[in-house]
Structure 1
Amino acid sequence: MTCPHAAAAAVGTVRAYPFGDHVDLRLDPDYAELRATSPVARVRMPYGGDAWLLTRHADVKKASADPRLSMHAAADHDVPRAAPRALDSVGLMGMPPESHARLRRLVSRAFTARRVAALRPRITEITHDLVDAMVADGGPADLVSRLALPLPTAVICEMLGIPRTDQHVFRAFTEALMSASRFTEEQVAQAAEEYADYLRGYVAQRRAHPEDDLISALIEARDEGGRLSEDELLMLTGGMLVGGHETTANQLAGQALVLLDDRARYERLVADPGLIPATVEELLRYVPLWASVGPSRVATEDVEIGGVTIRAGEAVVYSLASANRDETVFDAPDDVVLDRAANPHIAFGQGPHFCLGAPLARAELQCALEALTGRLPGLRLARPAAELDWHRGMLVRGLVELPVTW
């Protein structure tokens, strides 16, 4: 529990948030300071006013599992938030708890560890095909466009039954949705409309000609089982298509950068590929995804977190990146420890909003590192890490490109 003077500091001080314009993998030192002194801190968000920021591992875990801190209640443009729009006002996470649980049950079977294990040979095949093409074209090559982005895109397209040739449609929507300032609200709205039109057309095509894919299964659940509405069908399909590639692509590129920026790490995996599963978990802990924080929650009644009372109606945001660097949970939290034994990171979230695609993302990340270290033991950066370009004006951190050679 937070000591009284720390709680008082949290209540009495309002800091402007986010603390800096970090688009790369660095975390602002303010997070470490807050974990030590004001782990439940009052911050002024870029949009909507003040919120409570949670930075400690235990507090984020507790709050994530507390139904009184609601994403559904926060699905409103007037709620304090990091994004210019409410990310989940029309998505799965922003739905009422009963609807959210029902729809998660419906799609979760496609992403179980057993299903993903059965899919792993195909993931490996896709990965090696991409590496083959990259090697055939010769270096230097951009690891973002040649592997990090096309791998999860190809996998989720196959699972859903979407042609990879259509990826320009959902890539355009994804970039617009993840924009903080890169696109205008009119451009975001136009991308959303074009994406919805595409989904409606593709669902109609699959309804007329069903196949053995996830979209056809969802259509059957809609038409024969009545277990979801047409709007829910489109929302689930669109959400899985976006969520199934964007975050994994950025995470894979970030993981590769961390390994290649200090080649001793990469060489260790080349020598001992058995370390790859633990390495993926460590890099999930270490590599931040969000530029600041994810979607806001709103307290539906008074809640005590870390010795601070969050009043009903107040907004709460969590820093998963800060929680994953908590000194009270992880030894040497700012170091990359490839064989870290105890690693209770929460990169995929916690509680009812735990990432459905976590098993799939883990498999894709592991397959990518297995292929790279096994096929390209001499892989190295073609440009110093300090000279790499990162996407700006986005809600998530992502490399524009990652030039490599071998």
Structure 2
Amino acid sequence: MTTPSSDIRVLNDATCSACGLLCDDIVLSISGHRILKADRACELGRSWFLGNHRVETLPPASVDGITVPVAEAIGRAASILVNARAPVIAGLTSATLESQSLAARLADRLGATIGPDHSEEATPRLLAIQRSGAVLASFGEVIHRAKLILCWGIDPARTHPRLRERLIDRPGRFVPEGRAGRTVLVVDQSVSECRSWADGAIAVSSGRHTEAIQALRGAVRGVAADPIRVERHSGSPVDLWQSWADLLKRAPYSAIIFGAELAREGASAIEALMRLLDDLNTTTRCVAVPLAGPGNPAGAEAILTGRLGAPVSVDLADGIARYRPVDADPWLRLQSGEADALLLVGEDLDERTTTRPKGVPVILLGPNATARSAPGVVAIATGMPGIDDGGTFYRSDEVSLPLRPAMTPVHPSMHEVLATLLSYCATLQSH
């Protein structure tokens, strides 16, 4: 049955969190408790906005699979966390900055280990940047200044579908022609969609990105190289790398956009990329733009750094924050048997928590948390950021954007639940 147009309301400038671009120009058509249309959104964004985020039949809270009032579930969660010897707090990447900040405060109070779910991807990048430094830029700076854009190891059609529209094709203050005024180069595995609109492309096999970046660095620095060895290790002839080096050196401003592919190769590839920036910035201007995944992973890193001094894997067991990227990942602590309680912020129960050691209680906070209620699980349903809950997310370039809720909430916000949980824990510890 067609919904009468008079029942449809429109929300302009909604923010989509389906990828790290956080497109904030989405126009939503809403009727009752459903989003009917998401104009300007890509396929990922439409799937996100039009999904069934509100399951009205789910209970607001449960303990051991039994429906209970929210206050009772929060009290039970507080008791578990306060009595735990080594609690861990994970998730975070789909929570707002405000909720992430409360989770960090809670970890500090409990002496817990805390880290975001994307640590496996983030840690190589963070370790590389800690060693080499980084020259980063906002999307706006790239749009307005970049004459050359190098997309390294990304497939935006699959992961960030509006990248070309929002960063590459758009006219800028110093690039008024938009795409026509830019040179676009691509490094991929020879199959990415962006090859069809790039000015040049080089195929690099997985696991060979460090060698490829070093080949380009050598060309930029004018280092004499053995052509046979360069082609064997990087997959492309030295003359091609030299032509790209010349383009980068001649460009008054260039940007290298990269994503998870380099992180999968480890810190060495990203460190090589940052050293390449150093080489280029001796004579021109070149910046790096890391692309984040869906949700708010950049926000999680920023909040943990600001509050606890490190972006991932922070251990507070000794009463001070210790950055331990090798052995303080919450999931490693859980699977090794070192953790005796898990608080999952903003996520549903997944495969990793279903295989938790026997007897380790789990506290779930998330939009559909009570859909997976089970023995040993305290589940509390919360609002969905950007759907029926507001707050702030960080874009990949760490620019903060507000979320405009499309619907009236039926569950408390994540922020409200965490604030109450923090208060309950403080009360229990004072007795």
TM-score (norm: length of structure 1): 0.29
TM-score (norm: length of structure 2): 0.28
Higher helix fraction (1 or 2): 1
Higher strand fraction (1 or 2): 2
**Structure ID, larger Rg:** 2
